[in-house]
Amino acid sequence: MATQSLYRRYRPRRFGEVKGQEHVVRSLRNAVINSREGQAYLFSGPRGTGKTTSARILAKVLNCANPQDGEPCCECESCLAVERGTSYDVHELDAASNNGVDAMRDLIEKASLGTPGRHKVYILDEVHMLSKAAETALLKTLEEPPPHVVFVLATTDPQKVSETIRSRTQHLQFHLLPMDVMESHIRWLAADAGIELADDALQSVLLQGGGSARDTVSALELVASGGGDALDITPLDEFLEAFIESDPGRALTVVADAMQQGRDARSLTDDIVRHLRDCFLSLMAPELVQLPVQRAAEVAALAHRLGAAAAVRAMERLGEMLVEMRHAPDPRLLLEVALVQLTHPAASNDFSSLLDRMSRLEQQVASGKSAATARPAPVDPATGRAALGGRARGSGGATLSSAQAGHPSADAPGSGDTLTAETGARADVSADGLAAAAERAVEVWGSQVMTALKSLPRAIYAAAKVLGARNGVVAVAAPNEPHRVKCQQHQADVEAALLKVVGAPVKLLLSVDGAVAHDDSDSGGGNVVALKLASAPPPDEDVDLDGLVDAPPEAVVTPVERLAQAFPGSQIIDE
Ligand SMILES: [Zn+2]
């Protein structure tokens, strides 16, 4: 491959080569063919969608010696000069780096020195970044533009361009490319450039590019220079899993890995917000999601599990964080704090987090899913009501079966040993064996289990209380919630020690002191462990589980209801 970058090598030279912006280039070509080109255009759209490229093509065709059908010949002296960037007829100014009034005055002076019979094209990139004074100067010129001068103002953020400027321009909108268009373009380009591209590498390129032609080609170049390996993309899904599973460690691990790879906290936060937005859209308006088909399906599945309310809450929180990050000496710390907050729904008792927990619970109950994949709220067996304020954590030992959710007769065969069913490793240990092992673990807890631990987990678990063995799990109570979290962080260490000491995969069931591990085996509900909070949750967090069972299945939730769920605190006034 030549040293010239792929992006420059494959940059469109004619309107017909601009991918995915047919509506824009058709309008420009027709204007040129009919000699009715405007004097001022506003090109808006996401980065890398062809705004400046199209502006240069326009400049080329307007000065081309042999234009054909609204296209430049790309062979005459003028065309070649524009392509080389040496034409006297094309002037570019990047307002992002040069936003002052002096640069603007300079440009306007040049504009008034017209070359007879030729077009001078002024391309102002990121025009929304112009200073107020520079904008005023530009506005005067736009009011009475010298003949043969064409202004092309480009922006990624048209909302920030003043209304006066917008009203004096023809506004043309560029869009991100649909993934199928991008995919076939990249396949063609890779083949043309002689780049071998495996499917996973192609998918990583499309993902990285996010619908921007420039970013996608840059990603392809990275892959090509890396010998065709798929890009090392930060696994953004992990953040969503962390939110869903309330697992801060999972989120912080990804942050640490990303930093190690040289990512910065701001762009990473940007990416997480973008990903959350994709999730939100896939719930609300799937047609707007710009992802490869297979990826879109994955995101939709994640979004379904996360729920719109949680997605919105995370977007809001991380959005605030992005603003704060601009002035923060340590943006990474801010990101980590936000992630810890977002992965701890119990820490926040505001309405939106409650709504979010409710809708998740509702989904689980409505879909009849057992607790094998979803973490349930603990149930008070006396009332059959879920105590949403408390959480069953850790070993997944606390399960919510339909038998407890208000249907005492539903004692389906096989529903007995949920604990064994949900952990593959435990399946080959008999329930009796496991129960005996758990009993033994409690007996030798102080003498053997604790001594098998390293000093940190040992110190943490020393402050916790062993409540006893229940159905093959060891119930442990921490003095408070923060301590329970610490215990949870070292749960795997203790479970590994248990395996070593008693020779069976005995799990822990963590709770906060005062919570009672309740053995339900007498009531016929099977080996289901439920936690009862000693301290009553706030009254408004009580949810009648019967009501949840009767809730309509997910599929018939109306768009209005989905919207209401998505915006915490909103109320349906009139459907
Ligand atoms: Zn030409």
Q: Has residue 88 got a pLDDT over 80?
A: yes
Which residue bears the tokens 């736009």? 142
Q: Has residue 254 got a pLDDT over 80?
A: yes
C-alpha 50 – ligand 1 centre gap (Å) = 20
Gap between the Cα atoms of 358 and 352, Å rounded: 10
Q: What is the pLDDT of residue 249?
A: 93
C-alpha 59 – ligand 1 centre gap (Å) = 10
Summarize the confidence of residues 156-173 as an average pLDDT: 91
List the beta strands (DSSP E) in 414-471.
465-470
* CATH annotation of 179-225: 1.10.8.60
Cβ proximity of 530 and 378 under 8 Å: yes
Q: Has residue 57 got a pLDDT over 90?
A: yes
Write the DSSP string, 378-396. PEETTTTEEETTS---TTS
- Higher per-residue confidence, 152 vs 390: 152
Q: What is the pLDDT of residue 476?
A: 86
For the stretch 279-328, pLDDT in tens is 999 998 887 776 766 778 889 999 999 999 899 999 999 999 998 888 88
For the stretch 9-43, pLDDT in tens is 999 999 999 998 999 999 999 999 999 999 999 99
Write the DSSP string, 245-302. HT-HHHHHHHHHHHHHTT--HHHHHHHHHHHHHHHHHHHH-GGG--S-HHHHHHHHHH
C-alpha 89 – ligand 1 centre gap (Å) = 13
State the pairing for strand pair 90-94/120-125.
parallel
Q: Has residue 421 got a pLDDT over 50?
A: no
| Tally of residues, the chain | 575
C-alpha 113 – ligand 1 centre gap (Å) = 23
C-alpha 172 – ligand 1 centre gap (Å) = 24
Summarize the confidence of residues 164-183 as an average pLDDT: 90
C-alpha 82 – ligand 1 centre gap (Å) = 9
Q: What is the pLDDT of residue 355?
A: 65
Structure tokens at 571: 């109320």
Q: Is residue 175 very low, low, confident or very high in pLDDT (cuts 50, 70, 90)?
A: confident
For the stretch 336-366, pLDDT in tens is 999 999 998 654 445 566 666 667 777 767 7
Which residues share a beta bridge with 124?
93, 153
Q: Has residue 174 got a pLDDT over 80?
A: yes
C-alpha 65 – ligand 1 centre gap (Å) = 5
C-alpha 71 – ligand 1 centre gap (Å) = 9
For the stretch 181-219, pLDDT in tens is 899 999 999 999 999 889 889 988 988 888 889 989 999
Summarize the confidence of residues 243-257 as an average pLDDT: 93
Q: What is the pLDDT of residue 339?
A: 94
Gap between the Cα atoms of 65 and 63, Å rounded: 7
- Higher per-residue confidence, 572 vs 187: 187
CATH class of 391-400+417-532: alpha beta
C-alpha 68 – ligand 1 centre gap (Å) = 9
C-alpha 318 – ligand 1 centre gap (Å) = 49
Q: What is the pLDDT of residue 514?
A: 55
C-alpha 307 – ligand 1 centre gap (Å) = 55
C-alpha 81 – ligand 1 centre gap (Å) = 10
State the pairing for strand pair 473-478/507-512.
parallel
Q: What is the pLDDT of residue 34?
A: 94
Structure tokens at 215: 């970013």
CA distances from 432 to 371, 420, 482, 506, 527 (A): 22, 11, 34, 12, 12
Q: Which helix (H) or strand (E) holds 23?
A: helix 22-33
C-alpha 60 – ligand 1 centre gap (Å) = 7
Cβ proximity of 387 and 541 under 8 Å: yes
C-alpha 90 – ligand 1 centre gap (Å) = 14
Q: What is the pLDDT of residue 32?
A: 95
CATH class of 6-173: alpha beta
Lowest mean pLDDT among 29-33, 447-451, 528-532: 528-532
Q: What is the pLDDT of residue 25?
A: 95
C-alpha 12 – ligand 1 centre gap (Å) = 15
C-alpha 58 – ligand 1 centre gap (Å) = 11
C-alpha 14 – ligand 1 centre gap (Å) = 11
* Burial (Cβ within 10 Å: 0-12, 13-18, ≥19) of residue 527: buried
C-alpha 108 – ligand 1 centre gap (Å) = 26
Q: What is the pLDDT of residue 239?
A: 95
C-alpha 32 – ligand 1 centre gap (Å) = 13
Q: What is the average pLDDT value for the chain, to the nearest integer?
A: 77
Q: Has residue 526 got a pLDDT over 50?
A: no
Lowest mean pLDDT among 108-122, 137-151, 294-308: 108-122
C-alpha 76 – ligand 1 centre gap (Å) = 4
- Higher per-residue confidence, 269 vs 564: 269
Please report, for the chain, the start and end positions of each structural domain, with discontinuous segments joined by +: 6-173, 179-225, 237-348, 391-400+417-532
Angle between helix 237-245 and helix 308-325 axes, rounded to 10 deg? 120
C-alpha 55 – ligand 1 centre gap (Å) = 15
Q: What is the pLDDT of residue 405?
A: 39
CA dihedral 333, 334, 339, 344 (to 10 degrees): 100
160 Cβ contact partners less than 8 Å away, ≥ 6 residues apart: 128
Summarize the confidence of residues 402-428 as an average pLDDT: 39
* CATH annotation of 237-348: 1.20.272.10
Q: Has residue 567 got a pLDDT over 60?
A: no
C-alpha 70 – ligand 1 centre gap (Å) = 11
C-alpha 428 – ligand 1 centre gap (Å) = 77
C-alpha 19 – ligand 1 centre gap (Å) = 21
Q: Has residue 414 got a pLDDT over 60?
A: no
Cβ proximity of 172 and 43 under 8 Å: yes
